[in-house]
Amino acid sequence: MNSTTAMDLSNILSLDWKGKYFYVDLFPLMGSPYPMLLIFISYLIFVLFIGPMWMKNRPPYNLLEVLRLYNAFQVCACTFIVVRAHLVHHYSFFTFSKCVLSPKPVGPNDVLSVTQIAFHIDTYLFMHLRLLELIETIFFVLRKKFNQVSALHMYHHISTITLCWIFLKYRGGRMEIFIAVLNSYVHIIMYAYYFVSSFKRYRIITDKIKPFITIMQIVQLNFILVQCVAILLCEESFINYILVGNFVINIVLFTHFFVKAYMCKRKIRVPVDSNGNIEGFKKNAILNVHGIKSEC
């Protein structure tokens, strides 16, 4: 374990929770992990226990207009992040061959860089935008869409917010903003899709597009993983190992979801002969969209 890795681990496990930048520690929710931890615990208790119990004998809420407003807001907010990245950061963080290392810690007596402060503000806004996404799970519960409250859904949201918090407090490197910008591009398309699909007259189109939204997310995660590996090669640290591992887990979970959701179909009954077979398929075989036997 090198000195950078040991220092990162020491900072995370330290109980004084002093971050790398004194002014970031003054931001709401950034002084210590306890407020964020309380949010996560409250979130999980509601979506897994209190919410389902509350909705057990109640009809699902009609949140159509609320969801449309929410999706429109997310499109606008993500667009703001992307445009701001163009204007302020000039995409100097899109690099895989040249290392842009994390800056040194900044104390109260140090000269502050306007660009670095802008980076922290943008990362902080991005973190809160991802934090707002927790409300999506609450919408699922209130609409009694309990099948959508999956381990993938909850892990993805909580891990993304957690990594934003850790990087904002302990790292602050410019290479990491690539992740936020690429993620915002994908979310612009994703939430625009959700907005359009809320209108029934467009369902025939959006239903065909739906699998490609997940494919886009998986491709995005692979691009981010490459950037994370580049960051790790530039600067080996405990936090960067966590970053790489997290996106590997996300890729596995999203790929597993895609296979189950779009490559495997429901069991269907097929005509059988006296031996219980038809053209090599067993009775009640599972067929995918191409008519090929699937073991999903």
pLDDT single digits (tens) 57-81: 999 999 999 999 999 999 999 999 9
Q: Looking at residue 292, what is its pLDDT?
A: 40
Same domain (yes/no): 171, 56? yes
Q: Based on the domain organization, do 133 and 165 belong to the same domain?
A: yes
Task: Specify the pTM.
Answer: 0.80
- 280 and 137 co-located in one domain: no
Residue 106's DSSP bridge partners are 21
The candidate with the shortest Cα–Cα distance to 140, out of 130, 150, 129, is: 150
Q: Are residues 281 and 251 in the same domain?
A: no
Whether 170 and 240 map to the same domain: the answer is yes
Enclosing domain of residue 271: 264-296
What pLDDT digit, counting tens, does each position of 10-36 carry? 655 556 688 788 888 899 999 899 999
Same domain, 287 and 159: no
Q: Looking at the structure, do residues 241 and 270 belong to the same domain, yes or no? A: no
Strand partners, 282: 277
Q: Among 17, 20, 26, 22, which residue's Cα sits nearest to residue 237?
A: 20
Domain identity same for 214 and 296: no
In this structure, which amino acid lies at residue 178?
Answer: F
Rounded CA-CA distance 21/80 in Å is 25
By the 10 Å C-beta count (0-12 exposed, 13-18 middle, 19+ buried), 45 is classed as exposed
The reply to whether 120 and 247 lie within a common domain is yes
Q: How confident is the model at residue 286 (pLDDT cuts 50, 70, 90)?
A: very low
**CA torsion 154→156→157→159, rounded to 10°?**
110
Domain count, the chain: 2
Q: Quick one: 91 and 164 in the same domain?
A: yes
Residue whose token pair is 């495997």:
264
pLDDT at 78: 95
